[in-house]
Structure 1
Amino acid sequence: MLNIKKYIRGIICFGFALILTLITQVFSHSKLTPVAQAAQTEIIVSAAASLTDVMKAIQPIYQKEKSDIKLIYNFGSSGSLQQQIEQGAPVDVFISAAPKQINELQEKGLLLDETRKDLLKNEMVLIIPKGESTIQRFEDLTADTVTKIAVGEPESVPAGKYAQEVLTSLNIFETIQPKQVYAKDVRQLLSYVETGNVDAGITFSSNAKFSDKVEIVATAPPESHSPIIYPIAVVKNSKNPEAAKGFLNFLSSNTAKSLFERYGFGLAN
């Protein structure tokens, strides 16, 4: 008799537990689904590799101000970014490290002409690994003890083209050409010097400013190379041209200008 009572009590307890579980599930499914957040508008920005650090610093500031915007960056050499745009890659904004790439895209009708403007300027410098002292000026690169000099690939990396101009102006290009080690972009160039894989490198001032592994030993005379200008424009096939224009306007704001200067860039205007 006692066992029967325990059995019945067990069934009752199990029944109550089952009912409570069902009630909980019903209420959990009957709760109102929160209103989904509005989808953010994505702006894809293709920017020269030398802009990597400053653009990453700008990203959270802009997205805080424009919570409906999501910035997506694509960094690389200006030449490779140009090719991507020519091949139809989804890009809203292009920032080149030289006018050449922007000019060619504009000639092909791939940019919104009215959005083009000069954004930044830069300098060319000679850098060496921290702690080395045998190289102090560009002319020292001709010494027999200097065997490897990092430069950007001149056809696709603007810094490489500017370096070529500097060396030609100083009448040492032919002498050191066999020593040149080509980098796919200025980030790779900096890495070559930081790791001591080369004796020196020629790059943008902004590219070396914050590295604690290299030393800037000389700045190229301004007249030794073409003006280093970073133009910007909205790509004609942008899916969000108005949002892209809004981002361009922000890059000309005092907030953005102070960041550019902090990261070693000059202002074009």
Structure 2
Amino acid sequence: MTISRRSLIRIAIASATAAFLSLAGLATPAVAQEKVTVFAAASMKNALDNANKAWSAKGGRAVAVSYAASSALAKQIESGAPADIFISADLDWMKYVADKKLVKEETRSNFLANRIVLITAKDKAAPVDIKPGLDLAGLLKGGRLAMGEPSSVPAGKYGKAALEKLGIWASVEKSVAGAESVRAALALVSRGEAPYGIVYQTDATADPGVAVVGTFQEDTHPPIIYPIAILSESRSSDAAAYLEYLKSEKAAPFFEKEGFTVLK
């Protein structure tokens, strides 16, 4: 029988954990195997944290969430990182793991929608008319444009697509500060390290230090869809119930409050 690389990694992690607990004179707690582990796009943190608190308060088992750029999470899943559920900020990275047979296809669906916006520091906010010919380079005044890494981070990919559609990309490409995640791009603007940034509408809502000065029209970039799925090697008996909870009317307000659109 051939053992996959992912299975070997799981065995190694389990063996190391068991060895440590044995040396410490402890038994492996059964409840630890029931915890739901979620890999979620960084832009979901506020909404998902609040939804998880409500889930736990109603008797659901503990949820552990790893937040990062969807690209980084997909690569971790490919390398065998143990997780039960993946929520990507774009369809491409979900397809990436699905094509490698790493998700349970019957559980895969489009979960949320979002928008991208132009932000600046709260005390410097002035409306910007985002349209073809916008002199974004002039607005930057030699500063950097914070956004997710355009080649891999979904928010950066959407931002680049929109700027290309508007004929602006070539004028600002060399000024882009490509961040490892959309939350990292948000922080650059919030801390005053970049005069402007392109982030999700939901991220701008989550940081009181920034203000939205313009919204990119939806026809300037591919639809911003967040797909969700249970991973094929999930070991949590609660994963299916938790996924259904996230997609239910009970959880919807937590996502809508942060600016997401819940897809039915």
TM-score, with length taken from structure 2:
0.84
Letter in 1 for 2:45: T
Q: Deviations over 1:18-62 (max 9, x none)?
A: xxxxxxxxxxxxxxxxxxx97362110000000011111111210
After superposition, where does 1:164-203 map in structure 2 within 5 Å? 164-203=160-199
Higher mean C-alpha displacement, 243-252 vs 142-151 = 142-151
Is 1:54 the counterpart of 2:50? The answer is no
Cα distance, 1:154 vs. partner?
A: 2.1
Out of 84, 101, 112, the position equivalent to 1:92 is 84
Distance 1:66 1:213, change over 3 A: same
Tell whether the 8 Å contact from 1:135 to 1:141 is kept in structure 2 after alignment. no
CA distance in 2, matches of 1:228, 1:71: 26
- 2:108 counterpart of 1:116: yes
SS in 1 for 2:156: helix
TM-aligned CA deviation for residue 156 of structure 1: 2.8
| Larger CA Rg, structure 1 vs 2 | 1
Structure 1: unaligned runs, 5 residues or longer: 1-36
Residue-by-residue CA offset, 1:90-119 (whole Å, 9 max, x unaligned): 010000000001111111111000000010
Counterpart of 1:42 (choices 35, 53, 61) is 35
Find the aligned partners of 2:224 and 2:55 in 1 and give their Cα distance. Answer: 26
Partner residue in 1 for 2:248: 253
**CA distance in structure 2 between the partners assigned to 1:132 and 1:229 by the alignment:** 31
Cα deviation for residue 145 of structure 1 reads 1.8
Q: Identical aligned pairs, as a percentage?
A: 33
SS class of match (1:181): strand
Q: Which runs of 4+ in 1 moved over 2 A?
A: 37-40
Deviation, 1:133, is 4.4
Which residue of the partner structure matches residue 80 of structure 1? 72
- Number of equivalenced pairs: 231
Letter in 2 for 1:101: W
User: Does structure 1 conserve the Cα–Cα contact (< 8 Å) formed by 2:48 and 2:254?
Assistant: no
Counterpart CA distance in 2 for 1:262 and 1:133 is: 23
Flag structure 2 segments of 5+ consecutive residues without an equivalent. Answer: 1-28
The answer on whether the counterparts of 1:146 and 1:199 sit within 8 Å (CA) in structure 2 is: no
User: Aligned to 1:131, what secondary structure does the other structure show?
Assistant: helix
Deviation of 1:233 after TM superposition, in Å, equals: 0.2
Shift of 1:147: 2.4
Q: How does 1:5-20 map to 2 (within 5 A)?
A: none
Using the alignment, how far apart are the partners of 1:141 and 1:251 within structure 2?
38
Q: Tell me the secondary structure at the aligned position of residue 117 of structure 2.
A: strand
Q: Which amino acid aligns with 1:60?
A: K
* Equivalent residue in structure 2 for 1:214, among 210, 213, 216: 210
2:173 alignment partner AA: Q
* Separation in 1, partners of 2:164, 2:151: 16
- TM-score normalised according to structure 1 size: 0.82
RMSD: 1.6
Amino acid at match of 1:125: V
Counterpart Cα distance in 2 of 1:255 and 1:185:
29
